[in-house]
């Protein structure tokens, strides 16, 4: 990927402002890269400082093919839920592809999914009582 494109992505994030999550003072980015033919690979990056984090992201983007599709999601809020509360929230969703949040199963985002991954792959199935 061209360095000028990578710099534009960085500037767009900076212009967006509010780079860190309010709950844990961390910058968390989810970077999705696709070759336009296959499902994107998604990687989560997490650090206390945006510039340090961006150096790692930029290095990875440098290896992406020139015509890749790239999407960068910035995590701005984290809500910790017990499993029972999470399941209750899921049960209230009218259709399972209407879930509008990402989910991380650990605090470090090592086991995390974006909204598009959850809905695109139908990870959550309606229960027997759901219409």
Average confidence (pLDDT) over 34-59: 93
Q: Residue ranges of the domains in the chain? A: 1-78, 79-131
Q: What is the pLDDT at residue 119? A: 83
Residues 6+ apart with CB under 8 A from 58: 6, 10
| Rounded CA separation 79/23 (Å) | 8
Q: What is the pLDDT at residue 126? A: 64
87, two tokens: 């399941």
Average confidence (pLDDT) over 88-114: 86
Instruction: Please give the model's pTM, rounded to 2 decimal places.
Output: 0.84
């Amino acid at each position: 990927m061209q360095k000028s494109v990578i710099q534009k992505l960085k500037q767009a994030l900076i212009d967006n402002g509010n780079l860190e999550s309010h709950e844990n003072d961390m910058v968390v980015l989810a970077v999705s890269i696709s070759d336009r033919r296959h499902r994107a690979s998604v990687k989560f990056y997490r650090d206390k400082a945006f510039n340090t984090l961006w150096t790692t992201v930029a290095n990875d983007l440098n290896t992406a093919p020139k015509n890749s599709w790239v999407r960068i999601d910035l995590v701005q809020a984290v809500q910790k839920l017990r499993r029972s509360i999470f399941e209750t929230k899921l049960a209230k969703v009218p259709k399972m592809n209407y879930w509008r949040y990402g989910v991380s199963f650990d605090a470090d985002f090592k086991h995390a999914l974006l909204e598009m991954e959850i809905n695109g792959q139908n990870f959550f199935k309606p229960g027997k009582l759901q219409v």
